[in-house]
Chains A and B, each alone.
Chain A
Amino acid sequence: MRDRTVLWSVVALVALTVISMAIGFVWLPSVHADFTVKGLWDGICRAAGVPASWGTAAEGAPAPVRTTAVVLEPAMARPGSADAVGRGATLALQCTMCHSARGAKEANAPNLAGQYTEVVMKQLSDYQKGDRTSAIMQALAGKLSARDMQDLALYYAQLPRPKNTPVTDMGVVPPLVKTGDPMRNIAPCAACHGGMEQKLGTPWLEGMPKEYLAQQLAHFASGERRNDSHAQMRNMARALTAKEIEELAAFYARQAE
C-alpha cells in the first residue's frame, strides 16, 4: 500500500513537472518567432531567461543621449574629514562673489549652504563636462579636479542653512508640493525634495531665490537644461503651466522670509 502511494505520487509529480516544462520551454516558445529564430535550443534558453545575446543596438539606431556622466552613489553623501572641509573652504573663496562667503545670500544664484554633498558634486561635474550649461559656472568648474569638487561640496554641506520659516499651516503649501497631480503624471515635489522624502542627488530648495527656481523649471520644460539623468525634472516641468511654475518658485523662495 505504502509503496504504491509513494510510487504513484512521485510518478504523477514527475509527469506533471515534465509536461509543464515541455509546454513552457518547448511548445509555447515554438509559436513565438522571436524565441525560435535561432533554433530550438535558443528558444529553450530564452524561455529560461538566458538569451543568446542580451540585445544589441539595431543598425542605424541613434546613439543614446547622454544627460550626465555622474552615477549617484550613496557613498557620495557621506561626511568628509575636517581637512577636506578646510580645503573646500579655501577653494570656495572663488565662489563668494555670487554664492557669498557663507553660501547663501539674497542674490539670484542658488544657496549652497547646507546643500547635500552629492548634489553639489554632481552639478560641478555636469558643468565641467558640459552636461549643464552656464557661461560662468562652466568656466569656473572647468579647472576643478574630482577632489576639488568633493571638498567644495563637503564644505558647503556643513554650513548652516539659512533660517527657514517652518510650515505649520499645511493649507499654505501648494497642492503640487504635497500631492502633485496624478492625472498629469506630476509627482509631489516633497516626494524627492524633502518634506516627505529626500532622494539622493535631489537638492533641498527652501530659501532658493525665486528667479533661479522659476528659471530652472522653465529650462527643464524647454529642454535647455537636461542633466536630470532620468528626465525626471523635464517630465515634471513640461507638464507645469507658467502660473504653476511661478507659484512653486514663490513657495520655495518664501520659506526664507
Chain B
Amino acid sequence: MFHAKRLVLAHFWVAFAAFAVAILLGEWQMIVRSPLHAWISNPEHYYRSVTAHGTAMAYVVPTLVAMGFGYAICELALRRPLVGMRWAWAGFWLAIGGTLMASAPVAAGRATVLYTFYPPLIGSAFYYLGIVLVVVGSWIWVALMAINLRAWRKAHPGATVPLAMYGNVAGAYLWAWTSVGAAIEILVLILPVALGFKDTIDAGLARVFFSWTLHAIVYFWLMPAYIAFYTIVPRAIGGRLYSDTMGRVAFVLFLVFSMPIGIHHLFADPQVGAGFKFVHALMTAMVSVPTLLTVFTIAASVEIAARLRGGRGAFGWLEALPWENPMMLAVAFSFVMLGLGGAGGIINMSYQLNETIHNTQWVTGHFHLMFGGAIVIMYFAIAYDLWPQLTGCAPLPAGLVRAQLWTWFVGMLALTMPWHLVGILGMPRRMAYYDYTHPALEAQAWTVTASALGGAVLAVSAALLVYILWRSQRRAGTPETFEFSIPVHAAARVPAALNGFALWVGMMIALTLVNYGFPIAQLAVLKETSVPAARVGVR
C-alpha cells in the first residue's frame, strides 16, 4: 500500500539534516553574543549565520516536512498509491537544488540579508533564485495534493474526504496563496535589482508583499502539527477524536484568516495607513479562534482517552493519561508552549501593545517558542509515529524518545523565556553583541547566558532526535497497520461546504484582495518611493 516510503523518508531526512546543521549555527550565535564569549571580531559572520539559520529553519525544514507528511497522508488516508510519483521526486530535487543554490552565496557572505530579505539590502541573485526553486518544488507538491484528492473523489463520488487529507489539502492551498506574496517580491522587485537591471528598489512595497507571506507562512508550518493533533494524537494515546467537524472548521478558518493579516508585522512601517493596520490587527485576532477550537477539541479527545483508561473526576482524569506514551508528552508540551506563545502573540498583534515589544528579543522569543517549540515538537512526534511505517523498523525506544521530547521542551523554555523578559525591558533583536559592561545592561547579562544554555540543551536534543531515527531505521520489525484517529461519532455526515474548498479558497482570495489590494495598489502607483539598493558583499 505504501509506495511513497522512500519519497517521504527522503523529505524527512533532508529536513532533519538541515535542522541539525542550522541548530548548531543557532547555538553558536547564542554563545558568541553571550557574556561567555568576547565580542565577535567580525559581526558580519554573525549575520551570515543568522541568514543561514533562518533560511534553513523557516524555508527548508518546514517545507520538506509538510511535503513529506503530505505525501504520506495521501497514501495512508486515501489508501491508494500516490499519483504523480515522478513529479514528486522532481519537486524534491528542485527543493534540494534550491537549498544548495541559496546556501552557497550565504556561506560566501554574498547574501547576508537575513532570511526575511530586508530590501533595500540586496544579496546575490543566486540566493533568491535558490529560494524560488524551493518554492517551485513545493508548488509541485501543492498541485499533486490537489490532483490526488481529485482522483480519489472520482473513485469515491460523494464520500467524505478523510480529515487528514482535508487538512493536508487546506495546508497546500494555504501555502500556494501564501507564497505568492514573497514570489512577487522576489520576481518583480528584488531580482531585477539583484541581476543588475535596476539600481533602486521600492523597499516599502517589497515589505508589504513580504508581510503577505510572512505571517501566513507560520500557519503553513503549523498545519502538519494541527493535522497530527486531530488525526494522530487521539489514536496514539488510545482515545477518540472528539469532533471531526471541528477539525475541518479549524482548517478552513486558517485558510480564510491566515493571509489577510500580515500587516501586523508592519505596525512600525510608515508606508501603510493606520486604518489597514487596525483591520489587520483585528483579523489577526480571528486566528486565535481555530487555535482555541483545536485546544478545546484535543483536550476533550485526550479526556476521552483518560476516561477510557478509568480516569474519574473533574481533573482526576489527568492522572489516568498515558504519560509514558511519547505522543502524550509531545502534545502536552506542545500545548503548554502554544498557550504561552499564543498569549504573547496577542500582545504582538495588538496595534498599541506591539509598540512596547516591536523589534525586541521578545519577538525572537515568540517565534522560537511557537514554531521551534509548539510546532517543531509535533514534527518530531510525526516522524516518530511514521518511522515504523516508513522504515519497517521495530517500535522506537520510548525512553530515549521521552528524553528527546523533555530536553526539547526544557531547552526551548530556557531559550525563549529570558528572551521574552528582556524583550519587555527593551533589548533589541538582531544584535551580534551587547555591551555587558554598561551599568544599564549588566543586570540583563544573565538572560543571554540562560538562553545560550537553553540553546545547548536544544542542540543535544536535536542530536538525540537524529540518533533515535538513525538507530531505529536499522532495527527491523513488523509495524502495525497505520490508522488515523477515529472520531467519537464516526458516521456523522459533514456539511458539504466542509468537504470541499471552493468556498474557503474564494473567501481567502477575496479577503486578501480587500485587505491588501488597496495598500499594494497605492504604493505601486506612488511616485518617488524607490531607494538605492544596498548591495551586500559586493566589494
Question: Interface on A for B, CB 8 Å cutoff?
Answer: 1-2, 5-6, 9-10, 13, 16-17, 20-21, 23-25, 28-29, 35, 44, 46-50, 72-75, 116, 170, 173, 175, 178-179, 181-183, 188, 190-191, 194-200
Contacts and interface: CB of A to CB of B under 8 A. Distances in A.
Contact of A47 (B39, B274, B434): B274
- Interface size class on chain B is 35 or more
A28 B277 CA distance: 12
Given A2-B497, A9-B503, A16-B286, A181 B435 contact: yes
Contact of A24 (B271, B278, B431, B535): B278
Contact of B278 (A5, A16, A23, A183): A23
The 10 closest A-B pairs by CB, nearest first: A49-B273, A47-B275, A24-B278, A198-B539, A2-B496, A196-B44, A5-B497, A25-B275, A74-B199, A24-B275
Nearest to A182: B435
A5 B279 contact: no
B496 A1 contact: yes
Interface in B495-522: 495-498, 503, 507, 511, 514, 518-519, 522
Nearest to A195: B42
Contacts of B477: none
Nearest to B44: A196
19 contacts: A2-B496, A6-B497, A9-B507, A13-B511, A17-B514, A24-B276, A24-B278, A46-B274, A47-B276, A49-B519, A173-B41, A175-B39, A178-B41, A178-B42, A179-B39, A191-B43, A194-B539, A200-B532, A200-B534
Contacts of A75: 199
Interface in B439-456: 440-441
Given A16-B283, A49-B276, 11 more contacts: A1-B495, A6-B503, A16-B286, A73-B199, A74-B535, A182-B435, A183-B438, A183-B440, A196-B42, A196-B44, A197-B539
Of listed B199, B273, B533, residue having the most chain A CB within 10 A: B273
Given A9-B507, A23-B278, A49-B519, A179 B433 contact: yes
Contacts of A6: 497, 503
Contacts of B463: none
B316 interface: no
A181 B441 CA distance: 13
A183 B272 CA distance: 31
B528 to A, nearest CB: 10
A10 B431 CA distance: 45
A181 B436 CA distance: 11
B283 A20 contact: yes
Given A48-B275, A49-B522, A72-B532, A196 B43 contact: yes
Contacts of B496: 1-2, 5
Contacts of B432: 179
Contacts of B434: 182
B279 A24 contact: yes
B122 to A, nearest CB: 10
Of listed A6, A10, A173, residue having the most chain B CB within 10 A: A6
Nearest to A47: B275
Interface of B: 39-44, 199, 256, 271-279, 282-283, 286, 431-435, 438, 440-441, 495-498, 503, 507, 511, 514, 518-519, 522, 532-539
B68 to A, nearest CB: 32
A167 B274 CA distance: 50
B258 to A, nearest CB: 14
Contacts of B279: 17, 20-21, 24
Of listed B434, B514, B532, residue having the most chain A CB within 10 A: B532
A211 to B, nearest CB: 26
A88 to B, nearest CB: 21
A65 to B, nearest CB: 21
Nearest to B535: A74
A28 B352 CA distance: 13
Given A2-B497, A183-B438, A197-B537, A48 B276 contact: yes
Nearest to B495: A5
Nearest to A28: B278
A25 B511 CA distance: 17
B471 to A, nearest CB: 42
A2 B495 contact: yes
Contacts of A49: 271-276, 519, 522
Contacts of B511: 13, 17
B180 to A, nearest CB: 20
A198 B536 CA distance: 8
Nearest to A178: B41
A9 B42 contact: no
A29 B256 contact: no
Given A73-B532, A200-B532, A21 B495 contact: no
Contacts of A5: 495-498, 503
B273 A46 contact: yes
A129 to B, nearest CB: 21
B47 to A, nearest CB: 9
Of listed A1, A10, A179, A198, residue having the most chain B CB within 10 A: A179
A104 B18 CA distance: 49
Of listed B41, B276, B286, B435, residue having the most chain A CB within 10 A: B41
A24 B536 CA distance: 39
Contact of B497 (A9, A23, A72, A196): A9
A50 B523 CA distance: 10
Contacts of A9: 497, 503, 507
A188 B438 CA distance: 18
A126 B88 CA distance: 60
Nearest to B437: A183
A21 B41 contact: no
A20 B497 contact: no
A48 B39 CA distance: 45
B449 to A, nearest CB: 18
Given A72-B532, A196-B43, A197-B536, A21 B275 contact: yes
B441 A183 contact: yes
Contacts of B283: 16, 20
A196 B538 CA distance: 11
Of listed A2, A49, A188, residue having the most chain B CB within 10 A: A49
Nearest to B285: A20
A28 B273 CA distance: 13
B290 to A, nearest CB: 14
Contacts of A197: 44, 536-537, 539
A73 B201 CA distance: 12
Contacts of A47: 273-276, 278
B332 to A, nearest CB: 33
Contact of B43 (A29, A35, A188): A188
A25 B431 CA distance: 37
A204 B533 CA distance: 20
Contacts of A13: 256, 507, 511
B507 A29 contact: no
B1 to A, nearest CB: 33
Contacts of B538: 198
